[in-house]
Structure 1
Amino acid sequence: MTETASGQSINLADYGMLRLGVATPELRIADVDFNLEQICLLAKQASMQQCKLLLFPELCLSGYTCADLFFQRPLQHRVEQALIELAKFTADEKVALVVGAPLAASGRLFNCAVLIADGEICGVVPKTFLPNSGEFYEQRWFSSARERSSNYILIDGQQISFGDDLLFRAEEFPDCQIGIEICEDAWAVAPPSGSQALVGATLLLNLSASPEILGKQAYRRALVSAQSARCLAAYAYASAGPNESSTDLVFSGHSLIAENGQILAETERFQFDNQLAVADVDLERLVGERQRNSSFAAGHPVHNFRIQSFRLASADVSELKRPVARTPFVPPDDAERAARCQEIFLLQTSGLAKRLRHTGSKQVVIGLSGGLDSTLALLVTVKAFDRLGLDRKGIVAITMPGFGTTERTKGNAEVLAEELGTELRIVPIDAAVIQHFQDIGHDETRHDITYENSQARERTQILMDVANQVGGLVIGTGDLSELALGWCTYNGDHMSMYGVNVGVPKTLVRYLVDWCAKEEFSGRVSEVLIDVCNTPVSPELLPPDENGEIAQKTEQVVGPYELHDFFLYQVVRMHYAPAKVLMLAELAFSDMPREEIMKWLRQFYWRFFSQQFKRSCLPDGPKVGTVALSPRGDWRMPSDATVNLWLQQLESLA
């Protein structure tokens, strides 16, 4: 749960979100009165949490394990009456319910899901796939949806839409379109939810009574997660609990909510009392994912569907019941983060190794500053050489001290190059840059952009010329965050022959170097890597302070990289509008004033748009995550696109 800033409330629908719950009620077999009471208790609990849609298990009004009692008319009649009572209940509580019920129609009995909202029974969906092997015997009692003879069913004398071809659309929330399947439907080779998603269902609901056996919990989680990812949807799964009959089976009540492959919430298993799990699903995000997915666009649903409208209450909340990661590129779990670092490092080294194999190069040139990015690039290069069986002396590491170089970074660069067994060259650039200032008539005491960029371009010239000398490639060191902000000198550090860090955001670079210090290297190299991790981020283009320490600190100028990487993820990966990016940033950075977040968000949008021209001629480099800015791959944007629309929306929020 993530609290909003100062406890202020937000309307979830304004941001394309829905608060959804799954429930496993305490249950008595064939005791509809008791079961109805528990359903209402859970619905009230959910309503108090501003949950606006609550899913219950298969046949929850009667119990899944009634067996031949399903044929008893008193049970059937009481279930129908309970549905009418639930409709009246939803009018007062303003929560939509989806419950399971055995219902008779045209001389047949069906295992049904019933959507009830705002005082009305909105529609009834019968189960399609009826398991009839092993422990299951459903075809003894129920008919399949394929055997229905009408599109309507009578409940309390009213004609209610009936069929497996129903989808439910919230009247004032068009992104909320619901498809329903029941238990075995999800385990079928071609689940109904697949076609439902292809015609627009963003929220897939499954009412289930899945008995527990060894290993089934993990399989169920994988199934729900995978179906939500495959359908680019939110998938809610509510399962019957241990109060079902234990004659031959045990039910666990394992209910889950997933969104596009991620489990957001789940209930505790084997609990005899009522269980409730709630999460906020981002339906706007799912619509956006589908619009960008060509495979989804090319899909063809197997069935035609009828759309049934229903009214869904809005939710004003003071917290989000979904994770909002402060560092979306960096997992908080140590083990997961280490595994990700290992995978990224392998991708980087493999990409460079392939380029070296293709070009036949046994020599490379790399500018080594003693900062994070160039250090990571050197480590990647060393390991790529090792993988190819090449002599590390073929790596020409050049440190080029200039006006802002400190002894700390210069010393770390020299020690790393020597300890790693590469060739080290020290080429001071002061005299060359001063000569250049004289040539172009620039006052060297004027510390402006010309003063800074002249140094960056001089260093790149040295690297390119040495590469010609040794017949090798220049390895680029710039990272993904710098490219997003355009924090690189055009035709300076912007240019290389292969950029190994182009897919790695700044917040992750530090963790990669730290991981290398712990897992890939040892001794003196490890010690230096740790010190590099503790060094402030700086291009070192302005003179040090009076103590010889770094005076020019990047984040004081361009803004915190932690914040910019957050923006980068939300804007490029999620394609969120400024209002939603700001709202999420306020949640993730609750310790930061709104005005400061707004300041850096304006800076991000301005720089991201204005600096596209640098990305339009980006050197090759490996994509390693879901966010990449290569003009040949993930991000295509005109260099002269206008940022006004985004900044105007942002200003309207001030």
Structure 2
Amino acid sequence: MTIRIALAQLDQRVGDLDGNAAAMLEWRAKAKAQGADLVLFPELQLTGYPPEDLVLKPDFIRRTMEAAERLADATAHEGPAILFGTIHAEGGANYNAMVLAEDGKVVARRLKHELPNYGTFDELRVFAPGPLPEPIEWRGVKLGLPICEDIWLEPVCHHLKAAGAELLLVPNGSPYELGKDEIRQALVRDRVTETGLPLAYVNRVGGQDELAFDGSSFVVNRGGEIVVQMRDWDEAMVVTDWEQGEGGWTCTTRSLEPLDPYPEDVYHAMMVGLGDYVNRNGFPGVILGLSGGIDSALSAAIAVDALGADRVWCVMMPSDYTSSESLEDAKACAEMLGCKYDIIPIKPGVEAMDEMLGGASGLAAENIQSRLRMVTLMALSNAHGHMLVTTGNKSEMSVGYATLYGDMSGGYNPLKDAYKTTVFELSRWRNSVKPRRAMGPDGPVMPVRIIEKPPSAELRPDQKDEDSLPPYAKLDRMLEALVEDEVSVAEAARITGVDEATVREIERKLLLAEYKRRQAPPGVKIGRRNFGRDRRYPITNFFRTGR
């Protein structure tokens, strides 16, 4: 006995019920042309993922249920059966569901049992857990259908095996994170080993607010061998052939595509996150302040690679403290990227503010410059429609080395979850490699001097970041311990080799800056603990690990 299953690794738009359904039918037609018997789509493909509090809106649930029925009706035309993710409402509860539709009707429905409630996920808030799912008997095959989180814990797969499932089809909505490919593959191999069943893992692609979905779908046979590996980030479909032998079902298709190595995977996540955010929210392009520093240069490169040079507008806004090197480097960077570039000095605004306030000095004077730059960029944004991209990195955001209503302001921040040392790595890498999905130039995207010179906000004479902060190599090690690993000051000091007093001061800055981060724009998730969706600390907080 043989079956042919199409694995559809698709993009989606949250709330676009008609558009998502139409896209699934288009891919179903492609699968039909290749002789597929069944098409597997990702988790909640009809609604988009994550739908968040849309699930609490009765009209959204009603229209989702109607859209699911129409989608099932559309399978009346000759072609393969489809397994698609949607929301099912029953008995006053809403469920994360998969529907098997064929010949114009719903053949079966299965509900997600394990609902994640950690990190970026809060499904328990909006969904009810379904019962342990039974296999679906379809064309003489018993299909096990664990949904995403159902494979991260053991009970669902064990139950399906005990109930007679012959192979596992797993729809997912799994966002990108550093090292996630290895984690997924190891997890799937564990489930395959435990159950003795082959497993097809299908994930979505595309950006949704602060999440970037990387796809990276794959198939593992009973022996633990990965026989199908789809590319990350690309919308695609692979039609797989399965044969039933004495030992069970085996995927006979061999199709192995490479996955992005580090740091290309990080860069692609930033491109996808920013590009989809801008395009799906209807902005004609983006505008950003190009300072001659590395953060804004990298942000501009990501924007050009994601959107094209004709949709990126860079503005240099020099003050009395802007060096000639910064002016030269900003201009050269914009020329290398091929994007629009203007210079608007802020000196008249600084003088006007100084006159209004009767003179400002110290931190107040520095922040006035940053906020005047924001006012300038927002005025241009309002006049022309371009979304303002903010360019602060995770190291600065962690310790509050950023100006509220100044350089923190904007619609999206591609570097939000990237530490400064990562910014340096990405900049060096992008200057020598063009990502395969990039719309930007083939060669370098910024002058080497931008990467090599000491970072500076240039808000006072001869200012350097290290006047206020430890060297970034040391700071980032401390922050990774305190933020990503959530260890105490004493443990962070032991791990990093930095003296405890220094780590204690960094923890103090980290906790005091929470109120700033709460007002920061969204940005793509890269690591395990991004600010916003993952790490949610109280603003008013008197607990310290370092005393």
Question: What is the TM-score of this pair, normalised by structure 2?
Answer: 0.51
Q: CA deviation at 1:344?
A: 1.0
Moved segments of 4+, more than 6 Å: 222-225, 227-231, 521-525
Secondary structure at 1:646 match in 2:
coil
Match of 2:319 in 1: 402
Q: For residues 525 and 485 of structure 1, what CA distance do their matches in structure 2 show?
A: 34
Check the 8 A contact 1:347/1:624 in 2, yes or no.
yes
What letter corresponds to residue 186 of structure 2 in structure 1?
A: A
Query: Which moved further from structure 2: 496-505 or 338-347?
Result: 338-347
Alignment pair present for 1:501 and 2:418: no
Change over 3 Å in CA distance of 1:417–1:223 after alignment to 2: closer
Match of 1:617 in 2: 519
Alignment of 1:40-51 (within 5 A): none
Q: For residues 381 and 434 of structure 1, what CA distance do their matches in structure 2 show?
A: 33
Alignment of 1:619-638 (within 5 A): 619-630=521-532, 633-638=533-538
Alignment pair present for 1:517 and 2:431: yes
Match of 1:226 in 2: 186
What letter corresponds to residue 647 of structure 1 in structure 2?
A: G
Q: CA deviation at 1:363?
A: 2.5
Q: CA deviation at 1:602?
A: 2.1
Q: CA deviation at 1:337?
A: 13
Match of 2:494 in 1: 583
Match of 1:529 in 2: 447
Match of 2:250 in 1: none
Match of 2:458 in 1: 540
Secondary structure at 1:339 match in 2:
coil
Change over 3 Å in CA distance of 1:439–1:627 after alignment to 2: same
Q: CA deviation at 1:230?
A: 7.1
Q: For residues 571 and 527 of structure 1, what CA distance do their matches in structure 2 show?
A: 33
Check the 8 A contact 1:513/1:529 in 2, yes or no.
no
Q: For residues 420 and 183 of structure 2, what CA distance do their matches in structure 1 show?
A: 35
Q: For residues 341 and 360 of structure 1, what CA distance do their matches in structure 2 show?
A: 29
Q: CA deviation at 1:458?
A: 0.4
* Structure 1 residues 437-487: Cα deviation after superposition (integer angstroms, max 9, x where no partner): 1101124xx3x0011100000001111110111111001101111111111
Alignment of 1:7-406 (within 5 A): 226=186, 339-386=261-308, 392-406=309-323
Alignment pair present for 1:416 and 2:327: no
Alignment of 1:385-464 (within 5 A): 385-386=307-308, 392-443=309-360, 446=361, 448-464=362-378
Which consecutive unaligned segments of at least 5 residues does structure 1 have?
1-192, 196-221, 232-335, 387-391, 544-550, 587-593, 649-654
Which consecutive unaligned segments of at least 5 residues does structure 2 have?
1-152, 156-181, 192-257
Check the 8 A contact 2:316/2:330 in 1, yes or no.
yes
Q: CA deviation at 1:346?
A: 0.6
Q: CA deviation at 1:584?
A: 0.9
Check the 8 A contact 1:420/1:525 in 2, yes or no.
no
Check the 8 A contact 1:564/1:600 in 2, yes or no.
no
* Structure 1 residues 331-361: Cα deviation after superposition (integer angstroms, max 9, x where no partner): xxxxx99922211111111111111221222
Q: For residues 351 and 224 of structure 1, what CA distance do their matches in structure 2 show?
A: 21
Q: CA deviation at 1:603?
A: 2.1
Check the 8 A contact 1:338/1:515 in 2, yes or no.
no
Q: For residues 365 and 476 of structure 1, what CA distance do their matches in structure 2 show?
A: 9
Change over 3 Å in CA distance of 1:567–1:432 after alignment to 2: same
Q: Percent identity?
A: 25
Check the 8 A contact 2:304/2:311 in 1, yes or no.
no
Secondary structure at 1:439 match in 2:
helix
Q: CA deviation at 1:642?
A: 1.6
Change over 3 Å in CA distance of 1:381–1:363 after alignment to 2: same
Q: For residues 186 and 311 of structure 2, what CA distance do their matches in structure 1 show?
A: 46
Q: Computing the radius of gyration over CA atoms, which structure comes out larger, 1 or 2?
A: 1
Check the 8 A contact 2:421/2:473 in 1, yes or no.
yes
* Structure 1 residues 376-426: Cα deviation after superposition (integer angstroms, max 9, x where no partner): 10001001113xxxxx23321100011221111111111111232211110
Q: For residues 261 and 506 of structure 2, what CA distance do their matches in structure 1 show?
A: 30
Secondary structure at 2:486 match in 1:
coil
Check the 8 A contact 1:367/1:400 in 2, yes or no.
yes
Alignment pair present for 1:555 and 2:473: no
Change over 3 Å in CA distance of 1:540–1:598 after alignment to 2: same
* Structure 1 residues 300-323: Cα deviation after superposition (integer angstroms, max 9, x where no partner): xxxxxxxxxxxxxxxxxxxxxxxx
Question: What is the TM-score of this pair, normalised by structure 1?
Answer: 0.43
Check the 8 A contact 1:400/1:459 in 2, yes or no.
yes
Match of 1:202 in 2: none
Secondary structure at 2:342 match in 1:
strand
Match of 2:169 in 1: none
Secondary structure at 1:576 match in 2:
coil
- Pairing partner for 1:565 from 455, 476, 494: 476
Check the 8 A contact 2:433/2:443 in 1, yes or no.
no
Check the 8 A contact 1:402/1:428 in 2, yes or no.
yes
Q: CA deviation at 1:526?
A: 2.3
Q: For residues 598 and 530 of structure 1, what CA distance do their matches in structure 2 show?
A: 36
Q: For residues 505 and 229 of structure 1, what CA distance do their matches in structure 2 show?
A: 32
Change over 3 Å in CA distance of 1:194–1:512 after alignment to 2: same
Alignment pair present for 1:471 and 2:385: yes
Q: What is the aligned-residue RMSD (CA, Å)?
A: 3.2
